[in-house]
Amino acid sequence: MRSDNRGVARAWGYSQSASSHTGNYWTDGQKLYSYRLCIGDTASDGTKVLRDHTSGGNHPYHSHTTSCHVGYARAFADIID
């Protein structure tokens, strides 16, 4: 399903697949990607784990766009690492 960036994050939160209009932000419902970087996972119990790839986050900073993608997903993450 094509969606805006907020919709991609929401789809990941609800374990559904979605992709942005550019295809650079997408989810298969289990994993969440910014470009080719996996920024989110789903644990076997359904817990959503987001990797903080923002400036000052726990994981390496990649780009402003990836930071925005992380930001959209924060509302749907159970754990932010």
**25-72, pLDDT tens digit by residue?**
999 999 999 999 999 999 999 999 999 999 999 999 999 999 999 999
The alpha-carbon radius of gyration of the chain (Å, integer) is 11
Is residue 72 within 8 Å of residue 9, measured between CB atoms?
yes
pTM over 0.75: yes
Q: Which two tokens stand for residue 1?
A: 């399903």
Mean pLDDT of 6-12: 98
Is residue 61 within 8 Å of residue 68, measured between CB atoms?
no
Q: Compute the distance between CA of residue 21 and CA of residue 49 in angstroms, rounded to an integer.
A: 24
Q: Which residues span the domain enclosing 17?
A: 2-80
Number of domains the chain is built from = 1
